Amino acid sequence: MSAIVAGTAAPAPTAARRPRGGLWRAILHNRKAMLGAVLLLLFILLAAFPHLFVPWLHGDPRAIGDLPLEHPSGKHWLGTTGLGQDVYAQLVYSTRESLIIAVVAGLGATFLSVIIGVSAAYLGGYADNALSMLTDVFLVLPTFPLIIVLATYAGKGNLTVIVVVLILTGWSYGARQMRAQALSLRNRDFLESARVRGERQSYIIVVEMLPTMTSLIVANFLGAALYAVLTAAGLQFLGLGDPNSLSWGTMLYWAQNQGALVNGLPAWALSPGLAVALLGVSFALLNYAFDEISNPALRPVRRRRAK
Amino acid sequence: MTDVSVYTDPQAAVPTAPLIETRKLTRHFRVGRGLSPKMLHAVDDVDITIDRQEIVALAGESGSGKSTIARLLAGVYTPTSGEIYFQGRAVSSMRSRRDQLAYRGDVPMVFQDPFSSLNPAFRVSHGILRSLKLHQPELTRTQRNEEAERVIEAVGLAPASDLMYRYPYELSGGQRQRIGFAQALAHKPKLILADEPVSMLDVSIRIGLLNLMAELRRSAGVSFLYITHDIASARYVADRLLIMYAGHIVESGPTEAVLANPKHPYTDLLLGAVPDPRAPLSVAVEGDTGEPPKVIDPTPGCRFRWRCPLVVDECHHVTPTLRLLGDGHEAACHVAEPDAGMHATKP
Amino acid sequence: MRFLIRRLGFFVLTLWAAMTLNFFIPRMMPGSPEDALRDRFSKGGSVVTPEQLRTVLAEFGFDPDKNIILQYSEYLKAMVTGHWGVSIGSSLGAPVTTLIGDALPWTLGLVGIATVLAFVLGTLIGTIAGWRRGGLIDGILPPVFIVTSALPYFWVALLFISIFAIGSNPILPNDFNYEQGLTPGFNGPFIGSVLKHGILPAGTILITAIGGWILTMRNNMVTTLAEDYVRMARAKGIPNRRIMFGYAGRNAFLPNLSGFAMSLGFVISGTILVEYVFNYPGLGYMFYNATVSTDYPLLQALFLLSTLAVLICVLLCDFAVFLLDPRARTKG
Amino acid sequence: MPSRPILEVRDLTVEYDTGGDRPVVAVDAVDLDVHAGEFVGVVGESGCGKSTLLFAIAQLLSPPAAITSGDVRFQGQNLVAMSEKKLAALRWRDFSVVMQSAMNALNPVTSIGTQFRDAIMAHDEPVADDRPAEVLRLVGIDPIHLRSYPHQLSGGMRQRAMIAMALLFTPDLIIMDEPTSALDVVAQRSLMVQIKELQQQLGFAVVFVTHDMSLISHFSDQLVVMYAGQVVELGATRAVFDHPAHPYSKGLLDAFPSIRGPKVPLIGIPGSPPDLAHPPSGCRFNPRCPEVFADCPKIEPELYQVGAVQARCLLHAPGAATAAEPVQEARS
Amino acid sequence: GGGDKPIGSASSNPSSSTSSGGQGTGQFKKGGTVTIANVGGQTWPCQFNPFNPAVNQVALGFVYEPLTFVNVLKSGATTPMLASAFSWSPTKDSIVFTIRSGVKWSDGQPFSADDVVYTFNLMKQQPALDLYSLWTGAGLTSVTAAGDKVTLKFKAPAEPYFFNFANQVGIVPKHIWSTGDAAAKPATWANPKPVGTGAFTVQSCTSNNISYVANGSYWQPGKPYLEKVQYPAYLDNNPANLDLASGKAQWGGQYIPNIDNFYKSKSPDNNYWFPPTANVAIVANNDPSHKATSNLAVRQAIAYALDREQISKIGESGYQPAANQTGVVTPTFDKYFDKDALTAAGYDKPNPDKAKQLLQTAGYSSSNPLKLSVITVTGYTDWDASLAVVKQQLAPVGIELSIQDLQQQSYNQKLYTGDYDLAYSSLSGGPTPYYELRQLLYSKNSAPIGKQANSNYSRYIKPEVDKLFDQYASADPDTQVKLIKQISGYMIKDVPIIPTTESVDWYQYNTKDIEGWPTQEDPYAQPAPYNIPDVGQVLTNLYSKSAQK
Ligand SMILES: Nc1ncnc2c1ncn2[C@@H]1O[C@H](COP(=O)(O)OP(=O)(O)OP(=O)(O)O)[C@@H](O)[C@H]1O
Ligand SMILES: Nc1ncnc2c1ncn2[C@@H]1O[C@H](COP(=O)(O)OP(=O)(O)OP(=O)(O)O)[C@@H](O)[C@H]1O
Ligand SMILES: [Mg+2]
Ligand SMILES: [Mg+2]
Ligand code: NI
């Protein structure tokens, strides 16, 4: 699992000088962002309307067929599983769960990061100490074993459990960044200006402070989503997910346990991993591009020669 | 700067009391946590009085505590000790949200840095509209918009209907600074705390804002606490001038009197350092390095004694207090004398 | 100095908090060592009463009926004094220290070295890419590694196995840390075998981990290069190499360093998959096993160890920042 | 001037590629001469291209900025065409640069002494061992601070340290970009006086950039007023202050109050500086000019000789009421 | 084939009861190595304490030997090991073993009846060692020696426990276990250098691998033929399977998906054989608190609805044969199998119509479908696959099955305390069906809901059945067969559990160099390397072809 997914280390102070409408334009003008966005869009379509992508013949991803371990063919584009299920159909239908895990866990972790990081920075004093400590404890706890313990505790590796576990273990990295950024904002004059104006603390945190951190929050979300995709796949691959669910990690688990690779069925073994990788890549590309968009210093330069 | 409706004071509760007054206002900061906490005396025993329709300039070295005073008055910081009286009423007694809102409405602050004092995520009208909503809740949405346009035009930004929907980064520094003033005006204030409102601006824009302040005082009856490094601009707008050094007010008096006849050696030094193209080059080389003082756990004595050319023994043991040395002219110096300026600067 | 004392305070507090969690989390898991043991017994086709199982476990030092607070205080004491007890899971009776002692060198050797290598190489490549922004290296490596950093580790591993290690005469071994039958020691064949067995797992770690470091370092570098002191160094006529490493690189590196320490927590987690796929006998798989077999003593020791490892790394990185960044020294 | 100038800038144009439709022309066909031992002040509003001009002179521009035309001749050699290697040899030894903010221009992670040493090692020039201490003493800093790190010095000390560093090889030209803008008036005054003294003592030429007209009035020999990337007025400082020829210069001089003399109402210059990617046609100052007339938006003015100074204003164009002639050819 | 004597019969001649397969004494030259690929899921802790259930798989059979070997695959045929003979008292509450003479411990000390007595009494003193609850559960009252005779006395008829005490208890040397660390803490003693009577001794052990070498002074003349045994620690199936396929390991105990393609086709020397030994079943919760599953009609409906052949074929890739409702594993225990009863009840083939009908009588219909959930263990992928098939089969008769994959821990807890509707489960067998059926159906193995049951998780309680089990212990072999047929009658009648497939020994063997493997034709022991003490039987029979040249 690559841990180093979340954003740049130095949040750019210029980050916030961007109008909202400009974001889409910026994405459209950034090749990496475009590629990432297109990939993500494709996955969203797959998740929303899987049936459109699966020809009527073998549409039910779970249906047990009588032709197990088939090689890819016109009928089964990516072959069949050990139970004779159509791999391609499974791949398409699995998008939904994998995407849900990524998005929900990403949102959840980001939400926690923001709440805890920003509160710590804004409240200061003992509250800051306590919250920072909590963050640090979660950071140094070995994540994966914790996940295993939690997943085991929850008894059943169903979707909710995995998502909750990913959120619980995924927020701390972001919270630290949030806190750092919020600290740098804390004494910015526009916040004091709001205070002098007579605004309440809660209003200042939520309405004045958070929007200026948008780019970091988005970067954080993308990083957390990437982390969630990869970790969830790892968990399911280890058999800690629900083996009856339809998701890429589960497909890999089955492929591994039914010996897809060693039995010469690479399409079955590799395609779910590739899907995970592509979803991951789309998040990583967006994240990377987002850095460029929010920090003009990182934008690619056209080299021009004087004279 | 047109169309500012003439400001009428809704008769304050205590008519004789000054608009705002501080008594022994003190603010200390803790520096260095843990084993050896130290106290930084940012502001010590400061007495300031500002009357209605008065512009008071506060000048002094960087780090001398000017902003801290403004923030204390604005309620961003709470005083370590001492009290602020607004129209005769102690600010610390204003506990309820209503009282506090009312005070904040009367005493807005304009921040030093036009680049960081507007929230980059919102249109520039955001702060103005919020102020109107908080301090004039009776207005409807359209009325608020109209009022916002009015104050934006009042600070000389036209066309307001266009400017107010821009984002801060779409405005120049001078325009932003004016938005800051407009935001303060939206409160229908009695006193605007202006913390170095022009220091970041080009000379060409700077004077426009100073003129605006004078205009607001005249037409809307607003008082100002004008904080600056720039003595010349203080002279341009202010009625009275306060000179601060290391957390103390060291000299105060009518602007012209202080400039013409500085009593405190620091004031003298400061005035001598102001470059002036209209005056011939006076190369009076001071051996002074101009290092700003940090007042950490001070001992009694004059805080300027280390740099003072006139230092006497007494300066090392007794903290000088403000003494009346002329018509409304006070200085905190053991050696300053009441009559004619004793350290003549001009040959 | 105060900085160091504060860091030490943080260290102790965090360790305590983590250890407390480490105690309670496993005990919140369903099942118990008895159940796990019972499951194993029933293979023999015999009837064993739960009471009897408890006697067996009691023999190995497990007493579930003891007051939990008492257990907790004894646990803390045991952890601190190094009396980690014996496994009550699948390695029933094996001293935890021995189990860990056998596995630790392999984990450190494989995952540790690969991770550090990824960090060092990634930082180096990132430095160069950032320095020559828009150049050849910058044009190729960062985009490539964005992609690899998003690949699932185990999937890359499987891919590698199917490429390099399948068939009757594979190029590289797919499992174990060295060839069966070799006697461990400082002899050529053994070391060669260890290296050969390490290539695939380490290569996989490298490929998936290096990307993040390249990207962050590159971005830091680009940001740093815009700083005035870099321009100033150029104005001084200082040679490029010195500017690249001494001025830009060093400053760009600092924020990465603490990021590195923080990411170690994730690294230890990653070893589970490495060891699982490559049948590499290290701590990761042991962790997994201990978890699924409710092996409290082993689990606790492993938790302690990995928490400690991360904390020490954080501390070391703090210390390195302390050495490299004079500002940290006086901040206090 | 009797001797040939040590620095001749001819037709220098610098553009920033912003990715937009048109580049920002931050320096537009600037000509400038600096003679040995001369103190040349460059003033102008924020964003008018002063820093860009300095960096272009010192060949320190980095993308997206690039010199698109013009020469910079220093001691007869064209710096624009010079290779990095030769430039590096020339830098610091013959001309040095003092940057706008000393906090950012000193490498935060190495000591002042190391930064001196870096500069010394980058050049073959023989330097006495105690030279750093000597120059520090020159600017009034205790050499003990060679061991200090930048953050341990106050703003004024850092600025002085920068200036000391610039004096290391006793160059012929020092380029200073607002070296006092971050300082208190008192500190600013004392630093300026010191610079002036050193200049008189050591005889180097100074190009000094600021936007503070009043500051420059006391110290510079020659004055260059810039507006929107162009030089709008040029001449001996006293002459410009006494009889400003360009309405912009007049506006500037009217824009700040004085602490002496009678109190007069001032007006300032209304409007705001133009967008350099889309500058106004004709005279760039015409939208803000109080003396604007019909030709202004149509005809782009050149520098015309007006008494002792040169000004880029159509009021002084040869055909206009005041007798003036273009000076382009007159220069040799 | 040797004599298929049931356990009860006394047999004194070792060579007469061992199987054929080219066995004999000293007929093969020594040499060669066999490598075992059997996933232990852990690295080796290098302990060889035969009383430690976590490690006895690498100690028993290799180093330690039982008194008598009981062959499960041959209905409990016995092979004398450390006891050259045994005889039961007529009431079967006392048994006398004749201890073999001339046996030496691997450290050279002579083996004697004292060691046997010591071993059993140690288990009495240290209840933790008494893995099979001989002293507490089986009613053992005394173990005494007289010359080369050792007598075990029981409170009650104890023949069913013969399998445990004669076959599964490894005899340990008194001279080692009565001193030092071993004596102080026999239960937890690591025993890193085990001294036993077995055919092999531990040469070296690392966390990766255990190397055994032939015991030079082994009591069976000429044996073992093999020089060495390597037992690497595999953490996961895939690497082990790869090594088996490539021939790097020759003896496997592995589930290999698509084995014909992946393993058998790789080499003509690669062989496998999966002898069935017990049932895999859907255990229904018979407790009245579970409305649906305590309803006989529902259980019958499930039993009728299932197409066990299909479950076997798709779910288990055909490796595990279909089971039958009698609960008797065939063909292993064919002689206890009452085929007629099965056919009479209509359970010999799937009958979905009948199932639907039964469900209707129970009040379920397509508009009111029966929703049931079945718990299973995460990681048992073949079970998952089987259940996927079961689910598909139950759907048309109107049962909506949801599959809950649980971690072993949670699964166990639910299973033991009865917190489930249906559970997919399997138990181990024994030399006769009695062993498995008793675990499944004997009321003393049950417990109220919420309390942990020993093995009767379905909570099937029927005094008539209990009585049949009680009679079995003292019955003669023929009566025993009858009793088991009667018990399986209750399986058909009450359908307490629904067997689906028969669990098998996963067993792969490579004949390139090694021969002498157990085969279907010569099932002289359970063949998978994880069976103890059967592994010892196999190891003494294997020989290297290359060493014969
Ligand atoms: N929140 C704070 N915590 C600690 N010290 C503070 C804080 N705010 C101000 N100070 C210290 O108090 C002293 C006075 O600061 P203040 O900002 O009032 O000075 P100033 O006169 O406004 O300076 P400047 O002209 O540079 O704005 C300084 O030494 C400053 O470092
Ligand atoms: N990286 C950049 N990309 C695009 N435009 C730039 C960039 N840097 C500077 N500019 C533009 O170039 C112009 C000149 O900038 P420069 O920094 O030279 O101004 P300056 O006169 O030094 O201002 P100041 O007094 O504020 O230092 C400005 O209008 C600025 O907007
Ligand atoms: Mg201030
Ligand atoms: Mg500049
Ligand atoms: Ni990862």
Contact D250, D244 (CB under 8 A): yes
* Nearest-CA distance D180 → chain A (Å): 24
Tell me yes or no: is domain B20-122+189-331 CATH 3.40.50.150. Answer: no
Give SS3 for B304: coil
Mean model confidence pLDDT for chain A: 76
State residue E11's pLDDT score.
Answer: 38
Give the closest ligand to the alpha carbon of residue B71: 1
Instruction: Assess whether the C-beta atom of D132 lies below 6 angstroms from ligand 2.
Output: no
**Chain E residue with the nearest C-alpha to that of A64:** E389
Closest ligand 2 atom, residue D54 Cα: 18
Tell me the pLDDT band of D28, cut-offs 50, 70 and 90: confident
> Which residues does residue E399 pair with via DSSP β-bridges, in sequence order?
E370
Q: Please state the domain extents for chain D.
A: 7-226, 283-332
Average pLDDT over residues C95-109: 85
Pocket test for ligand 1, best of B41, B68, B78 (most atoms within 8 A of CB): B68
Tell me the pLDDT band of D331, cut-offs 50, 70 and 90: very low
Give SS3 for D328: coil
Average pLDDT over residues B236-245: 91
Question: Does C5 sit within 8 Å of B32, measured CB to CB?
Answer: no
Give the residue carrying structure tokens 């009889």.
Answer: D243
Question: Does A156 sit within 8 Å of E410, measured CB to CB?
Answer: yes
**Local structure of residue E95 (DSSP, 8 states):** E
pLDDT above 60 for A305? no
Which one-letter amino acid corresponds to residue C121?
Answer: L
Positive or negative: CA dihedral A75, A76, A79, A84: negative
- Distance (angstroms) between ligand 5 centre and the Cα of A36 equals 19
Average pLDDT over residues A157-175: 81
Which one-letter amino acid corresponds to residue D318?
Answer: P
Q: Token pair for residue E331?
A: 């063909």
pLDDT above 80 for D283? yes
Question: Does A276 sit within 8 Å of C152, measured CB to CB?
Answer: yes
Tell me the pLDDT band of C50, cut-offs 50, 70 and 90: low
Q: Which of B80-84, B332-336, C253-257, E9-13 has the highest mean pLDDT?
A: B80-84
- Condensed to tens digits (0 to 9), the pLDDT of residues D1-23 reads 456 788 888 888 998 877 667 78
- Condensed to tens digits (0 to 9), the pLDDT of residues E93-137 reads 999 999 999 999 999 999 999 999 999 999 998 888 888 888 888
Share of residues in chain A with pLDDT > 90 (%) = 6
State residue C266's pLDDT score.
Answer: 65
Average pLDDT over residues E27-46: 87
- Angstrom distance (rounded) from CA A181 to CA E546: 72
Give the closest ligand to the alpha carbon of residue C273: 5
Tell me whether chains E and B touch (3+ CB pairs under 8 A): no
- Distance (angstroms) between ligand 3 centre and the Cα of A187 equals 13
pLDDT above 70 for E418? yes
CA angle, C259 as apex, C312 and C238 as ends, to 5°? 110
Give the residue carrying structure tokens 């302040």.
Answer: B213
Rounded to 10 degrees, the C-alpha dihedral A280/A283/A289/A294 comes to: -140
Average pLDDT over residues E281-289: 93
Distances (CA, A) of E484 to A45, E439, E498, E524: 60, 13, 17, 24
- Angstrom distance (rounded) from CA A276 to CA C150: 8
Tell me the pLDDT band of E302, cut-offs 50, 70 and 90: very high
Average pLDDT over residues D92-113: 83
Average pLDDT over residues B161-166: 81
Best E72, E409, E505 residue to mutate vs chain C (most C CBs within 10 Å): E409
- Angstrom distance (rounded) from CA E62 to CA E529: 10
C287 closest CA partner among C44, C76, C96: C96
Instruction: Assess whether the C-beta atom of D229 lies below 6 angstroms from ligand 2.
Output: no
E80 phi, psi to nearest 5 deg: -65, 135
Average pLDDT over residues B175-180: 84
Which run of H or E residues covers position C122? Answer: helix C113-131
Q: Categorise residue C215: left if φ over 0, alpha if ψ from -120 to 50, beta otherwise.
A: alpha
C45 has a chain E CB within 8 A of its CB: yes
Chain A hits for C314, Cβ within 8 Å: 140
- Condensed to tens digits (0 to 9), the pLDDT of residues D295-325 reads 888 888 888 888 888 888 888 777 655 444 4
Mean model confidence pLDDT for chain C: 79
- Condensed to tens digits (0 to 9), the pLDDT of residues C285-325 reads 888 888 777 788 888 888 888 888 888 887 888 788 777 77
Pocket test for ligand 1, best of B33, B62, B67, B116 (most atoms within 8 A of CB): B67
- Angstrom distance (rounded) from CA C306 to CA C311: 8
Closest partner residue to B290 among D156, D270, D273, by Cβ?
A: D156
Chain B hits for D268, Cβ within 8 Å: 203-208, 211
A93 closest CA partner among A245, A267, A281, A259: A245
Tell me the pLDDT band of B35, cut-offs 50, 70 and 90: low
- Condensed to tens digits (0 to 9), the pLDDT of residues B309-328 reads 888 888 888 888 888 888 88
Average pLDDT over residues A200-214: 84
pLDDT above 70 for E367? yes
CA atoms within 13 A on the CB side of E22: 14
Name which residue sits closest to atom 22 of ligand 1, judged by CA.
B67
Chain A hits for E315, Cβ within 8 Å: 83
The model's pTM is 0.79
Name which residue sits closest to atom 11 of ligand 2, judged by CA.
D26
State residue E509's pLDDT score.
Answer: 95
E455 closest CA partner among C42, C37, C34, C40: C42
Instruction: Assess whether the C-beta atom of D52 lies below 6 angstroms from ligand 2.
Output: yes
Average pLDDT over residues E382-406: 88
Tell me the pLDDT band of E424, cut-offs 50, 70 and 90: very high
- Angstrom distance (rounded) from CA D69 to CA E146: 116
Instruction: Assess whether the C-beta atom of B294 lies below 6 angstroms from ligand 1.
Output: yes
Closest partner residue to A193 among B127, B134, B169, by Cβ?
A: B127
Best C180, C276, C285 residue to mutate vs chain E (most E CBs within 10 Å): C180
State residue B36's pLDDT score.
Answer: 64
Contact B40, B46 (CB under 8 A): no
Instruction: Assess whether the C-beta atom of B42 lies below 6 angstroms from ligand 1.
Output: yes
State residue E106's pLDDT score.
Answer: 93
State residue B289's pLDDT score.
Answer: 55
Tell me the pLDDT band of E8, cut-offs 50, 70 and 90: very low
Q: Token pair for residue B184?
A: 């303060």
Chain C hits for E503, Cβ within 8 Å: none
Tell me the pLDDT band of A294, cut-offs 50, 70 and 90: low
**Chain C residue with the nearest C-alpha to that of E160:** C46
Chain C hits for B32, Cβ within 8 Å: 332
- Condensed to tens digits (0 to 9), the pLDDT of residues E215-233 reads 989 999 888 999 999 999 8
Give SS3 for E132: coil
Question: Does A84 sit within 8 Å of E407, measured CB to CB?
Answer: no
Contact A232, A98 (CB under 8 A): yes
Name which residue sits closest to atom 31 of ligand 1, judged by CA.
B63
pLDDT above 80 for D115? yes
Tell me the pLDDT band of B294, cut-offs 50, 70 and 90: low
Give the closest ligand to the alpha carbon of residue D226: 2
Class of domain D7-226: alpha beta
Contact E183, E129 (CB under 8 A): no
Which run of H or E residues covers position C22? Answer: helix C2-28
- Condensed to tens digits (0 to 9), the pLDDT of residues D139-177 reads 878 888 888 888 888 777 888 888 888 888 888 889 988
- Angstrom distance (rounded) from CA E494 to CA C216: 68
pLDDT above 70 for C30? no
Q: Which residue has the higher pLDDT, E159 or B1?
A: E159
Q: Please state the domain extents for chain B.
A: 20-122+189-331
- Angstrom distance (rounded) from CA A90 to CA A285: 26
Distances (CA, A) of D259 to B255, B265, B328, D188, D263: 10, 17, 20, 17, 9
Distances (CA, A) of B189 to B10, B109, B130: 12, 10, 15
pLDDT above 50 for D329? no
Average pLDDT over residues D43-70: 85
State residue E460's pLDDT score.
Answer: 93
- Angstrom distance (rounded) from CA B122 to CA A16: 10
pLDDT above 90 for D253? no
Tell me whether chains C and D touch (3+ CB pairs under 8 A): yes
Name which residue sits closest to atom 4 of ligand 1, judged by CA.
B29
Q: Token pair for residue C228?
A: 């005035």
State residue E14's pLDDT score.
Answer: 38
- Angstrom distance (rounded) from CA C174 to CA C177: 9
E500 phi, psi to nearest 5 deg: -115, -55
pLDDT above 80 for A247? yes
pLDDT above 70 for C223? yes
Closest partner residue to C324 among D91, D105, D109, by Cβ?
A: D109
- Condensed to tens digits (0 to 9), the pLDDT of residues D234-250 reads 888 888 888 888 888 88
C201 closest CA partner among C107, C305, C99, C102: C107
State residue A19's pLDDT score.
Answer: 42
**Chain A residue with the nearest C-alpha to that of E406:** A156
Chain B hits for C1, Cβ within 8 Å: none
Number of H helices, E strands in chain A: 12, 0
Question: Does A193 sit within 8 Å of B117, measured CB to CB?
Answer: yes
Give the residue carrying structure tokens 């300082």.
Answer: D183
pLDDT above 60 for C217? yes
State residue B72's pLDDT score.
Answer: 92
Instruction: Assess whether the C-beta atom of B63 lies below 6 angstroms from ligand 1.
Output: yes
Mean model confidence pLDDT for chain E: 87
State residue A306's pLDDT score.
Answer: 39
* Nearest-CA distance A166 → chain C (Å): 12
Give the residue carrying structure tokens 């699932």.
Answer: C152
- Condensed to tens digits (0 to 9), the pLDDT of residues B21-30 reads 999 999 998 8
pLDDT above 80 for E2? no
Contact D184, D198 (CB under 8 A): no
Closest partner residue to B100 among A17, A198, A214, by Cβ?
A: A198
Tell me the pLDDT band of B11, cut-offs 50, 70 and 90: very low
Which run of H or E residues covers position E78? Answer: strand E77-80
